[in-house]
Structure 1
Amino acid sequence: MLEIDRYVVSMVGNLEVTGTVPAELLGRPLVMAANHIGTFDALVLMKACWEIGIAPRFMLAGGLLDAPVLGWALTRSGHLRVERGKATVIESFATAVESVKSSDTPLLVYPEGRISRDPGLWPERGKTGVARIALAANAPVIPISQWGAHEAIHWGNESVNGLPDLKPYVTSFLSALRRRPRFKVHFGSPVDLSDLSAGKAGDAVRAHKRIMQAVTDNLATLRRDEPDLPKYHDPTRPTDTRSPWR
């Protein structure tokens, strides 16, 4: 899966990776939290992680894991499923905590749970799931900020029911092959959660705020020349929320 991913990302655009994961955090429980900007960004993150020498498991929405070919490959690679807004999310949380505790492979999670609908593509409010997983597993959190992957493939449609629904994906991907966008990924410093615990009321919210603010602050550095709206406009992406972290 990684070999295919590296080839596809290199074919579509140019990847720039900054930051890393401290050596002392490798081989122990570790959670990584990234902003979600497009349908292509998981592939970009996989390649970025490979470049710094790690291969995390992703906690991904069921829809992506059910996708033809890609979903099969992601599932075979050991990535975890979460169904946003469903009762099984409790089971997914327990599985994620146990996975972090018992594995030397980092778990990468999108705190927002979906591609941002903020007009400027800044991080949404998100959920406290990542924070609760990290606190329950007593694991440090590495914030990951990324920019540029939104230019590879459009947001598209809520569901694909026929060939016409595939048009925004195909046309945007072919356009990206010609333009070769620049994908930027930054691995930030560990978020300090040392004064927080899983059993204390309100600590999950406090941890979530610190994680999201770290992701947003590092994202601001990546997109200094696009402080408000993205220069690349995706007409299919909903823009009905506002980021509270900017």
Structure 2
Amino acid sequence: MGTSPPDPLRDVEDSTSRKSYRTPALWRFLLRFLRGAVPLFCRLKVTGDVPTRLRGGPIIIVSNHIGTFDPMALIAGCAKQGLAPRMLATGGLFRAPVFGAIMRNSGHIRVDRGSHTVTGALHNAVDALNEGSTVVLYPEGRISLDPGLWPERAKTGAARLALTTGAPVVSVTQWGAHEVMAYDGPLHMAATLISSIWRRPTVTIHFGDIVDLTDLDPAKAGSVRIAADRMSAAGLNRLQRLRVDEPVMPRHVDRIRPLSTARTYKPRPDTVTDDAS
């Protein structure tokens, strides 16, 4: 009699049960749901790997942010890796009817941008990592407004979190999710999401190497900025390989998405590496 294939989400439940934090039942259900639902709207490719020794947490995952669909694609990719991610997300999502309750009851972490309480999100993320969680952040803090959908310069929140806790940082790079759903507008978003069922865009989620921050002293001036730039550089290096046939501009251009070059990321020579993974 053959044996059943391992269920990575069962591994998630086992690993979190050994910690003080246990993934909520609602979120375990939604992880399985998204793992099956996301491929209905795209050809989902998950490449790279997260070492088994890290999957019990704590882990910080940093990713580029290219569209409204990519959080769902990233969550599905994490589920395939046997991870139960806790997302740092804007407070507006937590205030939304129904969806806000789902976010709160799934263990995600609220970020009230522009508020005096915004620093509380960092403390909550530290607590989550101390509990052994996988915490997911978009270092850019928003969907990229760069005309070519290249990463914008990272803010320092993810870097501060990494240097404060010492948790390993896994760089995840994604491409293609911007083709699934429009940037804004309920009608545009719904229409493009439905049409993606037969358009079948390819969405790639690549789990890359751990970003090496071990030489940085959190107390030294400039360390946080260097750490943030290393995260950006890791994502940029991989993104160049994921979109080798779109070297300057994406083939798919969302006319609704606003554009800005104010935060264009310009890598320093010491952050560019020959990532062949």
The two structures have a TM-score, normalised by structure 2, of: 0.81
SS at match of 1:189: strand
Residue 23 (1) aligns with residue 52 (2): yes
Indicate the residue corresponding to 1:121 in structure 2.
149
Conserved 8 A contact 2:66-2:178 = yes
**Counterparts of residues 62-101 of structure 1 (less than 5 Å):** 62-100=91-129
2:136 to 96, 99, 108: 108
Indicate the residue corresponding to 1:232 in structure 2.
252
Rounded to whole Å, the distance in 2 between the matches of 1:86 and 1:222 is 36
Q: AA paired with 1:86?
A: S
Q: AA paired with 2:89?
A: L
Change beyond 3 A, Cα 1:239–1:188: same
Give 1:204 deviation, angstroms.
Answer: 0.5
User: Which protein has the larger Cα radius of gyration, Structure 1 or Structure 2?
Assistant: 2
1:32 to 52, 61, 71: 61
User: Which consecutive residues of structure 2, in runs of 5 or more, have no partner in the other structure?
Assistant: 1-29, 268-277
Rounded to whole Å, the distance in 2 between the matches of 1:170 and 1:198 is 44
Residue 182 (1) aligns with residue 202 (2): yes
Q: AA paired with 1:197?
A: D
Indicate the residue corresponding to 2:172 in structure 1.
144
Indicate the residue corresponding to 2:220 in structure 1.
200
Q: Higher relative contact order by CA 8 Å / sep ≥ 6: 1 or 2?
A: 1
Conserved 8 A contact 2:43-2:200 = yes
Change beyond 3 A, Cα 1:170–1:50: same
SS at match of 2:210: coil
1:166 to 186, 189, 194: 186
Work out the number of aligned pairs and report it: 237
Rounded to whole Å, the distance in 2 between the matches of 1:65 and 1:150 is 23
Give 1:141 deviation, angstroms.
Answer: 0.5
Root-mean-square deviation over aligned CA pairs: 1.5
Question: CA deviation digits over 1:41-99, x for unaligned, max 9?
Answer: 11101110111111111111122333444443232211111122322111111111122
| Range with bigger deviation, 15-24 or 124-133 | 15-24
Rounded to whole Å, the distance in 2 between the matches of 1:56 and 1:83 is 19
Question: CA deviation digits over 1:128-173, x for unaligned, max 9?
Answer: 10000011011111011001111111111xxxxxxxx421112211
Residue 8 (1) aligns with residue 8 (2): no
Give 1:28 deviation, angstroms.
Answer: 3.5
SS at match of 1:188: strand
* Percent of matched pairs sharing the same residue: 44
Conserved 8 A contact 2:32-2:79 = no
Rounded to whole Å, the distance in 1 between the matches of 2:57 and 2:197 is 38
Conserved 8 A contact 2:63-2:139 = yes
User: Which consecutive residues of structure 1, in runs of 5 or more, have no partner in the other structure?
Assistant: 157-164
Indicate the residue corresponding to 1:244 in structure 2.
265
Conserved 8 A contact 1:18-1:186 = yes
Rounded to whole Å, the distance in 2 between the matches of 1:226 and 1:114 is 22
Q: AA paired with 2:227?
A: A
Rounded to whole Å, the distance in 1 between the matches of 2:264 and 2:47 is 24
**Counterparts of residues 43-62 of structure 1 (less than 5 Å):** 43-62=72-91
The two structures have a TM-score, normalised by structure 1, of: 0.91
Conserved 8 A contact 2:47-2:206 = yes
Indicate the residue corresponding to 2:8 in structure 1.
none
Rounded to whole Å, the distance in 2 between the matches of 1:86 and 1:235 is 31
Conserved 8 A contact 1:84-1:113 = no
Question: CA deviation digits over 1:94-121, x for unaligned, max 9?
Answer: 1111221x22221110101100000011
